[in-house]
A and B are shown apart, each in its own frame.
Chain A
Amino acid sequence: MMIWRGALAALVLGLLAACGPHADEPRTLVFWTIGREGEAVMKLLPDFEREHPDIRVKTQQLPLSAAHQKLLTAFAGDSTPDLTQLGNTWLPEFAALSALEPLEARVNASAMVRPDDYFAAIWATNRVDGQLYGVPWYVDTRLLFYRTDLLKAAGFDAPPRDWAEWRRALAALSHPERGIYGILLPTNEFEQLMSLALQQPDPLLRDDNRYGNFQSPGFKRALAFYVDIFRSRQAPPITAMEAGNPWDEFGRGVYAFYFSGPWNIGEFRQRLPASQQDDWSTAPLPGPVGAGVGAAGGSSLVIFRRSANKDAAWALIEYLSRPDVQQRFYDLLGDMPARRSAWDGERLRNDPKVRAFREQLEQVKPTPAVPEWEQIVNEMQLVAAEAVAGRLSVDQAAAEIDRRADRILEKRRWILAHDRGAQGTSP
């Protein structure tokens, strides 16, 4: 009887607690993710919510193809989430919109997020006009996947380290008459040419990013190298759409090199048979003089200025930045950690296929931090494809890219001049 009464009282109390409004009701944090990251991050969140019982995280997954538009629409419609994942080429755009919360002070006060533990160039992509807007979450750089067995059979014991060696290997491995090519460079993807261009000493934009700098000797060298690979029929002039299933063709030896990013480690492990797993590896991107310089890519975590839960959002960023959580994230998805200390974990340290990425990440170079960059680099690729098709010479193509870049940057020039004028007149 006593037991029953006690149980009943507990039940009533429990119900009252559940129904009644009370002070420590968990706050809901809205977190948008883009692409595949959404599912993996869901598995990391229960631990966070256990540590922070006052915070509930609501995630929403955006497909990559719609994410950009959705984020801009959310900004225009005043319905941004508390925090989101943001590709570091999009970050300057949202910084220009003043949509993002500056994070410098929070980072300085944080025991968890330590800038010196991050790859320097990746960290730099989160800085726009001297202000920090994001914390790198995972990183990405494009480099070479190659068939070790095919290279060995052609007399190359090690992957190429510079352009001259690379061209020698490409020449030896290409047999276009049999439909066999040294490398696949989809003509609609800008990342490959952009990586080659970033290896050059010349910046891609000039005068404080007011004009294109594509007629520099450096860019022309990169473009000539890129175009010449196609002209020598060492790469087929096809788009990714036509390439269809590059993994199978890489496995069948149609291409000896494949110029791509970290997610393909997982793809090749999954798609190639076990017997072929020792026949491929990765190598730092060969440069004009040495290997390992590429583009600094990846995604950051950012907080929106209009968020009402900035402290909770920062707590989530700190949690996702913990080296052990970054390692779990890598185990779940294969996204490479942005922090060096997270690379000391067992799986990353002992995996020979990620070593090249680790090497290259120390030397990656950021792309120009202007909102127009993605549009400029798209135009660059459209013109480069014309050069590949033989419709333009390298010089003509470089001049045309500059012309288009200057047109796209017109508004930026006007704003820079206008704002300076405004500052000049203000007391």
Chain B
Amino acid sequence: MNSRRAAWWFLAPALLVLGVFFVLPVVAALGLSLTDYDLYALADIRHLRFVALGNYWELLHQSRFWGALWHTLYFVLVGVPLSMAASLGAALLLNSPLARGKAFFRTALFAPVVTTVVAVAVVWRYILNTKYGLANYVLGLLGIHPVDWLGDPHWAMPSIILFAVWKNFGYNMIIFLAGLQAIPADLYEAARIDGASVPQQFRHITLPMLQPTLLMVAILTVSGYFQLFAEPYVMTWGGPLQSTTSVLYLMYNEGFQWWNFGTASAVAFLLFVIMFGVTALMLRAGRRKEAP
């Protein structure tokens, strides 16, 4: 009994910090999302109306919410596999016994992760500029017509995905590299003796052994990519024609630009529910794979 009480005392600082800085704000935001808190309510609290699920109901009937959700899903569905493939590919190359200058390449490939998104966005905007950009110059050499990377609503999201993948793949690459180095070398040796080719070794040794790492990276990347905001904020301002406005961007606009915190909180909770559902599904799928 006494040791149990002692345990609570040890937990108390962490619980206090979590309670004050996490649980309390989340509960407050949930409460806020049931009201129409806005500028008028800030001026005079009598102008605050309790709307129950009205904010949610209205959002689900607005094309701008579904548009933002679709843009976010597009970003996640294309961006996550691409990002993971890039990370895994780079990790495999770095882990190869043939690789030279490993330390240099590891640093170089990781560098985009530690750069400031605002600063590199400026460089990328130059690269992707329709008239003067490097990307279109290179395409021009190949005889391909210039692409309006950030100005065409069909190309803007692919450009954002490209930028985000380049910016983020280094982080997962390091995690994959650690996972690859943890695979015992004798497994590969045994496979080679049995005459397994390199693709077979990858398919039957590397992938299964990396399974837990892959699942963790996938979940972290999905939840990170669902929170798409900084990239469109600095590259396209959510445009053109709102084709890069994500759910979080919508929330930012509602809350911090127009001070409609009721609606903004509702957007945040909708995004939370969606992300919670997706991660739960991924975890269950991962567990089912492990089970047999």
Contacts and interface: CB of A to CB of B under 8 A. Distances in A.
Interface string B40-64: 1011100101000000000000000
B146 to A, nearest CB: 11
Given A238-B151, A415-B47, A389 B39 contact: no
Nearest to B58: A407
A242 B258 contact: no
A425 interface: no
Contacts of A99: 43
Interface string A209-228: 00000000000000000000
A244 B40 contact: no
Contact of B40 (A179, A375, A382, A415): A415
A244 B129 CA distance: 9
Interface stretch (A90-98, A319-327, A330-338, A357-365): A90-98
Of B40, B130, B132, B150, most buried by chain A (CB within 10 Å of CB) is: B40
B106 interface: no
Contact of A242 (B39, B43, B47, B130): B130
A2 to B, nearest CB: 67
B259 interface: yes
A241 B150 contact: yes
A188 interface: yes
A391 interface: yes
Contacts, number: 64
A69 B47 contact: no
Q: Is the interface of A mostly helix, strand, loop or mixed?
A: helix
B4 to A, nearest CB: 42
A99 B39 CA distance: 12
A99 B118 CA distance: 34
Nearest to B254: A375
A187 B240 contact: yes
Contacts of A98: 43-44
Nearest to B41: A411
Interface in B186-213: none
A72 B257 CA distance: 10
Nearest to B153: A389
Given A239-B237, A244-B129, A375 B258 contact: yes
B242 interface: yes
Contacts of B40: 96, 371, 411-412, 415
Nearest to A95: B43
B162 to A, nearest CB: 17
B105 interface: no
Interface in A236-256: 237-239, 241-242, 244
Contacts of A68: 257
Nearest to B126: A244
Interface string A374-391: 010000001001100101
Contact of B241 (A72, A76, A385, A418): A385
Contacts of B151: 237-239, 242
A234 B82 CA distance: 40
A411 B38 contact: yes
A371 B42 CA distance: 13
Interface in B151-190: 151, 153
B156 to A, nearest CB: 10
B256 A411 contact: no
Nearest to A418: B47
A98 B259 CA distance: 16
A188 B237 contact: yes
Contacts of A237: 151
A145 B10 CA distance: 69
A72 B237 contact: no
Interface string A178-202: 0100000001100000000000000
Contacts of A385: 239-241
Given A69-B256, A241-B150, A382 B242 contact: yes
B241 A389 contact: yes
A48 interface: no
A375 B258 CA distance: 7
A150 B270 CA distance: 54
Contacts of A72: 39, 42, 259
Contacts of B43: 96-99
A331 B49 CA distance: 50
Given A239-B240, A389-B241, A411 B36 contact: yes
B39 A96 contact: yes
6 contacts: A72-B39, A98-B44, A188-B237, A241-B125, A371-B40, A386-B241
* 9 A-B pairs with the lowest CB-CB distances in the bound complex, closest first: A97-B43, A242-B151, A375-B258, A238-B151, A239-B239, A411-B40, A371-B39, A389-B241, A385-B241
Interface of A: 68-69, 72, 75-76, 93, 96-99, 179, 187-188, 237-239, 241-242, 244, 371, 375, 382, 385-386, 389, 391, 411-412, 414-415, 418
Interface of B: 36, 38-40, 42-44, 47, 49, 125, 129-132, 148, 150-151, 153, 236-237, 239-242, 256-259
